[in-house]
Amino acid sequence: MLASKLPNVGTTIFTRMSQLAAEVGALNLSQGFPDFDSPAPLREAVSRHIAAGHNQYAPMTGLPALRQQVAAKIRGLYGREVDADSEVTIVPGATEAIFCAVQALIRAGDEAIVLDPCYDSYEPSVELAGGRCVHVPLSLPDFAIDWQRLADAIGPRTRLIFLNSPHNPSGALIAREGLDRLAALIRDRDIYVISDEVYEHLVYDGVAHASVLAHEELYQRAFVVSSFGKTYHVTGWKTGYVVAPPALSAELRKIHQYVTFCGVTPLQHALADFMAEHPEHIAELPAFYQRKRDLFCDLLAGSRFRFRRAAGTYFQLADYSAIRPDLDDVAMAEWLTREHGVAAIPVSVFYQEPPRELRLVRFCFAKREDTLRQAAERLCLV
């Protein structure tokens, strides 16, 4: 009998809830993907490049034109000059970038600090590299970093700290001051950072995203990960990128070339074209998603759910303790799906040890207006 290398891992909650939504015909506000299409010029560019014969392997590090567009975006948004050849790597999805970065950093017996609740791929990646995760819970109700607990968690085996802002599942943000505090904590230690910034353009209410790319000290020991899928409404393309100093990028690429080697070629061509021809897309994205957030929240105002509007991402948390305090959040998510036709994600699955009083579910508002109106109408009847 083969002993599992990941004995505690099964089918993810995202797959389970999407399957349940399909089975019962519920509106799927669980898994984080849009139910609307990507921009027409982007889709047309894919067809154009397929027809032009751009269907063979791309360079292992990604198409030069796309890496150059990423570097130009970073220069414009964060004021950092990165070398497109030695610091930008195009990958088939941010999850693969995170996996490769972990494999490059973690050795047997090393520790990685994750801030709970956290994305579910972090810990398996660390365990497969022979390390272990140390879980530090974020402070409720605002999901802020508890700096004393983080400092206390750092030990002689700590090699890596995961940072995620805008934060999934809460939508919370880290400010520049937080990046400064993190830099001070690890300044004299051999500790690295993986900064998961896949929702970097989904920040609301006029707030600017505080990226590790704009922090000179942290960037020198960081892998910064982002996602074309989230930015251009094409999650199924599974295309992202990672930016890191040359020495770190070189180590990541050693792993990447034996995991997937390269991303999908015509998609990279299309993204490079679209980024060059439509820079306004990124500039308009915060307002585009804020309108969806505000519509959904305004419609939920008459419900018994309690919430504070998400500061970032396309997820909205909702407290259901005034509705069914007798149900844990997994049971609540299933009950909402089966009995009220709206699928959500329970927040406890993002924790190693969820707080006993936790009564939160996560809704995805990256949906058409009619989907959000139907979902809110049903939720207001709960």
pLDDT 10s digits, 335-347: 999 999 999 999 9
- If asked whether residues 293 and 349 sit together in one domain, one would say yes
- If asked whether residues 88 and 174 sit together in one domain, one would say yes
- If asked whether residues 108 and 217 sit together in one domain, one would say yes
Domain-embedded: residue 3: no
**CATH number of the domain to which 75 belongs:** 3.40.640.10
Q: Which of 244, 277, 310 is the last residue of a domain?
A: 277
**CATH number of the domain to which 372 belongs:** 3.90.1150.10
Domain-embedded: residue 4: no
Residue 240's nearest CA partner among 251, 252, 231 is 231
- If asked whether residues 58 and 139 sit together in one domain, one would say yes
- If asked whether residues 324 and 224 sit together in one domain, one would say no
Q: Could you list the residue range(s) of the whole structural domain that residue 366 is in?
A: 13-38+281-379
Which two tokens mark 148? 């004393």
Domain-embedded: residue 86: yes
Q: Which of 253, 277, 301 is the last residue of a domain?
A: 277
Q: What is d(CA 65, CA 84) in angstroms, rounded to the nearest whole number?
A: 9
Q: What is the pLDDT of residue 23?
A: 95
pLDDT tens-digit series, residues 209-247: 999 999 999 999 999 999 999 999 999 999 999 999 999
Distances (CA, A) of 360 to 66, 140, 145, 310, 371: 39, 11, 19, 13, 21
- If asked whether residues 50 and 92 sit together in one domain, one would say yes
- If asked whether residues 50 and 118 sit together in one domain, one would say yes
Looking at the 3D structure of the chain, how many domains does it have? Answer: 2
- If asked whether residues 216 and 304 sit together in one domain, one would say no
**Mean pLDDT of all residues belonging to the chain:** 97
- If asked whether residues 222 and 302 sit together in one domain, one would say no
Question: Exposed, middle or buried, 167 (CB in 10 Å: 0-12/13-18/19+)?
Answer: buried
Domain-embedded: residue 7: no
- The rounded average pLDDT for each run of 10 residues, N- to C-terminus, in the chain (382 residues) is 88 89 95 94 98 98 98 98 98 97 98 96 97 97 97 98 98 98 97 98 98 98 98 97 98 98 97 98 98 98 96 98 96 97 96 93 98 98 95
- If asked whether residues 148 and 93 sit together in one domain, one would say yes
- If asked whether residues 184 and 123 sit together in one domain, one would say yes
- If asked whether residues 367 and 265 sit together in one domain, one would say no
Residue 208's nearest CA partner among 181, 182, 173, 180 is 173
Residue 360's nearest CA partner among 142, 120, 131 is 142
